[in-house]
Amino acid sequence: MGLIKLVILLVLAYVALTFWRRLKAQQANKARSAASPDTPTLMVRCSRCKVYLPETQALHQGDRWYCCKNHLEADHNG
């Protein structure tokens, strides 16, 4: 009788461990897919210093892009 309980306990522990590992793997996959966006970030080049930066962080005037307000003003003020 004690041997049967031990075997059942070992099988339950194995099932629980397998379930826990799969759950952790799924969480890791979700975190990895959330961290990497599906679409790449569009990069633009500052017309003044030629540094590339994401379009979302850049300033633009007409068809020119700038990395900061100082470069935008310097390019238009001469």
**Domain shared by 52 and 31, yes or no:** no
Are 25 and 51 part of one and the same domain?
no
Q: Are strands 52-54 and 59-61 parallel, antiparallel or unpaired?
A: unpaired
User: What is the pLDDT averaged over residues 28-56?
Assistant: 83
Read off the pLDDT of each residue in 6-30 and give the average, rounded to a whole number: 93
Q: Which domain holds residue 19?
A: 1-36
pLDDT at 30: 80
Q: pLDDT value at position 76? A: 75
Residue 45 has pLDDT above 80, yes or no: yes
pLDDT at 42 over 80: yes
Same domain, 69 and 47: yes
Indicate whether 32 and 63 sit together in one domain: no
Predicted confidence (pLDDT) at residue 39 exceeds the cutoff of 80: no
Domains: count for the chain: 2
| % of residues, the chain, pLDDT over 70 | 90
Write the Ramachandran bin of 61: left for phi over 0, alpha for psi from -120 to 50, otherwise beta: beta
DSSP structure string for 7-54: HHHHHHHHHHHHHHHHHHHHHHHHHHHHHS-SSPPPEEEBTTT--EEE
Does residue 31 sit in the same domain as residue 53?
Answer: no
Instruction: Note whether 51 and 26 are same-domain residues.
Output: no
Whether 60 and 29 map to the same domain: the answer is no
